[in-house]
Amino acid sequence: MRSMSGPIRWRDGRLELLDQTRLPDEEIWLRCERAEDVADAIRRLAVRGAPAIGIAAAYGLALDASRFDEAAELLGSTRPTAVNLAWAIERQREAREAGADLAENADRLAGDQLESDRRMAEHGARLFGSGERVLTHCNTGALATGGYGTAIGVIKTAFDAGKVERVWVDETRPLLQGSRLTAWELDNAEIPFKVVTDSSVGTLMSQGLVDRVVVGADRIAANGDTANKIGTYTVAVVAARHGVPFHVAAPLSTVDPDTPSGTHIPIERRNPTEVTTHANAENWAFDVTPAELIASIITEAGVHEPPYDFAR
């Protein structure tokens, strides 16, 4: 097993990010010296995954503490859907107002993330029976959080407890975070998996080959409606038809109490050329899964079931 120490590191007052656009072919670290470098890395998905974006932005603010407001606005505008970005910027703003060192506070946020990932994993793994076949979508491992992972963290902990027989990995078009990143992480962790095209979810479930679905989240509305990588909703609809439990695993920093329901979540549209070589494409990056299709939401605080009260 190779190092799973995460895609974000702070060295000698500079931020280094593992370029996730180059994985699994090459492990290249980007050196960021200004907030602009971090914003650029977030925009082009060199760093991605809602929690990891938040941590990277927190370090980005540490790079440019002297022009905090400008850097915060720049970083905050990089991607609209994940709420962790705004959350991390807010935590750094509070730290700055309290006179704290922003790099040290970013370290603390990263440590908190790892800790909450581990607690989430323990809570989630208890939901599993034995020898389950689990399906996941997109990438939610250490690469996506800078810690232990959300949905993949749950799956790893369940696997270590002998509760997972195999993971079905949706390839996750258009940018293939499943077949590139999740496959790489599961391979490193020596967890058995198979990649399938996103559209195979119907066949998998109609053949009875999936016992449980666990995915991450980019924003969870107050009512439990959850925005996540495009295709998540399609999986949830098929899972509901086949009675397969569908879970969301995310830190509480992904819950946005100011967003009452999914219809209020802004959905990023990216460049059509990510889908085809020509412009005749529509490329929503996320979709919203209504709370009614979600069996439970797993956070570091525990396993939440509807009606949701995340503040409990």
Comparison of 290 and 302: residue with beta carbon closer to a second copy = 290
Q: How far is the CB of 92 from a second copy (least distance, A)?
A: 33
Place of tokens 């924003």: 219
Q: Which residue of the set 64, 117, 211, 218 is catalytic? A: 218
Residue with tokens 């097993």: 1
| Cβ closest to a second copy, residue 56 vs residue 239 | 239
Q: Which is nearer to a second copy, 77 or 271 (CB)?
A: 271
CB of 224 to a second copy, least distance (A): 16
Among positions 286-305, residues that touch a second copy (CB under 8 A) are: 287-288
- Is residue 198 involved in binding a second copy (CB under 8 A)? yes
Q: For residue 16, which amino acid is it? A: E
Rounded Cα gap, residues 12 and 95, in angstroms:
21
The answer to whether 215 and 151 have CB atoms below 8 angstroms apart is: yes
Residues 157-196 that bind a second copy (CB under 8 A): 170-174, 179, 183, 187, 193-196
CB of 276 to a second copy, least distance (A): 5
Give the C-alpha distances (Å, rounded to integers) separating 83 from 34, 104, 258, 267: 22, 22, 10, 12
- 283 sits near a second copy (criterion: CB under 8 A): yes
Is residue 265 close enough to count as binding a second copy by CB under 8 A?
no
Told to check if 273 binds a second copy by CB under 8 A, we report: no
- Residue 266 CA to residue 218 CA, distance in Å, equals 11
Task: Pull the structure tokens for residue 288.
Answer: 């919203």
CB-nearer residue toward a second copy: 4 or 267: 267
Q: Does 201 bind a second copy (CB under 8 A)?
A: yes
- Number of C-beta neighbours around residue 312 at 10 A: 7
Q: Residue 303: how many CA atoms within 13 Å on its side-chain side?
A: 16
Residues 6+ apart with CB under 8 A from 276: none
Q: Which stretch binds a second copy (CB under 8 A): 9-17, 57-65, 139-147, 268-276?
A: 268-276
How many residues sit close enough to a second copy to count as binding (CB under 8 A)?
Answer: 42
Give the number of C-alpha atoms closer than 13 A to the C-alpha of residue 196, restricted to the C-beta side: 20
Look up residue 243 and give its two tokens.
Answer: 């009675």
**Segment near a second copy (CB under 8 A), from 9-17, 38-46, 58-66, 279-287?**
279-287
Restricted to residues 87-146, the positions that interact with a second copy (CB under 8 A) are: none
In the chain, what's the furthest Cα-to-Cα distance?
Answer: 58
Least distance from C-beta 52 to a second copy, angstroms?
Answer: 22
**Residues in contact with a second copy, shown as a per-residue x/- string from 218 to 237 under the rule CB under 8 A:** ------------xxxxxxxx
The backbone torsions φ and ψ at residue 303, rounded to the nearest 5 degrees and listed phi first, read -100, 110
187 as an active site residue: the answer is: no
Residue 12, C-beta contacts closer than 8 angstroms, at least 6 positions apart: none
Contacting a second copy (CB under 8 A), which of 5, 77, 206, 271? 206
CA angle 215, 120, 18 (to 5 degrees): 65
Active site residues: 218
Task: Using CB under 8 A, list all residues that contact a second copy.
Answer: 170-174, 179, 183, 187, 193-203, 206, 230-238, 241, 267, 272, 275-276, 278, 280-284, 287-288
